């Protein structure tokens, strides 16, 4: 069988790509790195308007997620928050926990996308290592997402990492404490077991801070110029 060229792939319709991709049950990581720059370039007025900024980012992210599912991807992981986001102070944290921040992940706009693609949407990662009051608020969001999407054929994980997931991975690798499989099951009870493809902006070495290294075994990584 001849290996398809890039031009061959680009000539296929979304439906044809999905037919080829779906049987492989692919898990794809996309990073939200660079959202502020994206919003300011596409809607300069969002610079002074937090509500407008979050709407621009939500629209772009959902469009990207829908494109992934349309191409036959089974699991999409969105690298949303990483430890530095939780270290920028209480005002910043309260902003992303405000009604137009993370709670939007369970709102009507997101719910329509979840329903259209038969998605189970979940909050994943080590966010429970954040301060107690932050964990309490994020637990509410996690429960709302389960209520909105109790079941679904596809899986969408909104990754939020507040703690040092590298330490957990190292302990697992050295068999000090829980096994690697146990740590993975605790962080990702509904899967996936592996990320097959990762697309992000910035540096490769920062990838382990965006997503658990427990999922990055044998991952194909593509670095772009600020995807979203």
User: Over the stretch 59-105, which tens digit does the pLDDT of each residue have?
Assistant: 999 999 999 999 999 999 998 888 888 888 888 889 889 888 899 99
Task: Calculate mean pLDDT across residues 28-40.
Answer: 80
> Do the domain assignments include residue 12?
no
| pLDDT value, residue 122 | 96
Compute the distance between CA of residue 132 and CA of residue 119 in angstroms, rounded to an integer. Answer: 29
Using 50, 70 and 90 to split pLDDT, how confident is the model at 208? low
Percent of the chain topping pLDDT 70: 78
Size of the chain in residues: 228
Question: 108-116 vs 132-148: helix axis angle to the nearest 10?
Answer: 50
Asked if the model's pLDDT at residue 118 lies above 50, the reply is yes
| pLDDT value, residue 126 | 86
Asked if the model's pLDDT at residue 183 lies above 80, the reply is no
| 49: containing domain | 21-224
| pLDDT value, residue 4 | 75
Asked if the model's pLDDT at residue 124 lies above 60, the reply is yes
| pLDDT value, residue 112 | 96
Total number of domains in the chain:
1
| pLDDT value, residue 218 | 62
Task: Calculate mean pLDDT across residues 197-201.
Answer: 68
50-54, 195-199, 224-228: least confident range: 224-228
| pLDDT value, residue 176 | 59
> Do the domain assignments include residue 151?
yes
CATH of residue 83's domain is 3.40.1180.10
> Do the domain assignments include residue 132?
yes
Using 50, 70 and 90 to split pLDDT, how confident is the model at 228? very low
- Give the DSSP per-residue string, 151-215: --SEEEEEEE--S-HHHHHHHHHTTSSS-HHHHHHHH-TT--S---EEEEES-GGGHHHHS-GGG
- Structure-model confidence comparison of residues 108 and 191, the more confident one: 108
> Do the domain assignments include residue 153?
yes
Percent of the chain topping pLDDT 90: 39
Within 10 A of 11 (CB to CB), how many other CB atoms are there?
Answer: 10
Using 50, 70 and 90 to split pLDDT, how confident is the model at 157? very high
pLDDT tens digits, one per residue of 159-168: 998 876 555 5
| pLDDT value, residue 49 | 86
């Amino acid at each position: 069988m001849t290996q398809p060229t890039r031009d061959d792939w680009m000539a296929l319709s979304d439906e044809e790509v999905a037919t080829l991709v779906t049987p492989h049950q692919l898990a794809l990581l996309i990073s939200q790195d660079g959202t502020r720059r994206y919003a300011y370039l596409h809607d300069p007025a969002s610079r002074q308007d937090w509500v407008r900024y979050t709407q621009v980012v939500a629209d772009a992210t959902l469009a990207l997620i829908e494109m992934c599912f349309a191409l036959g991807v089974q699991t999409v992981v969105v690298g949303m928050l990483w430890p530095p986001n939780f270290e920028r102070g209480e005002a910043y944290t309260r902003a992303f926990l405000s009604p137009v921040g993370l709670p939007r992940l369970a709102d009507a706009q997101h719910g329509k996308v979840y329903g259209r693609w038969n998605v189970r949407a979940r909050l994943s990662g080590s966010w429970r290592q954040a301060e107690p009051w932050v964990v309490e608020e994020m637990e509410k969001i996690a429960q709302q997402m389960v209520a909105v999407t109790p079941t679904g054929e596809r899986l969408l994980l909104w990754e939020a990492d507040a703690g040092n997931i590298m330490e957990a991975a190292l302990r697992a690798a050295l068999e000090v404490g829980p096994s690697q499989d146990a740590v993975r099951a605790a962080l990702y009870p509904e899967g996936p077991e592996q990320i097959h493809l990762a697309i992000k902006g910035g540096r490769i070495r920062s990838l382990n801070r965006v997503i658990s290294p427990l999922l990055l075994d044998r991952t194909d990584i593509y670095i772009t110029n600020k995807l979203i």
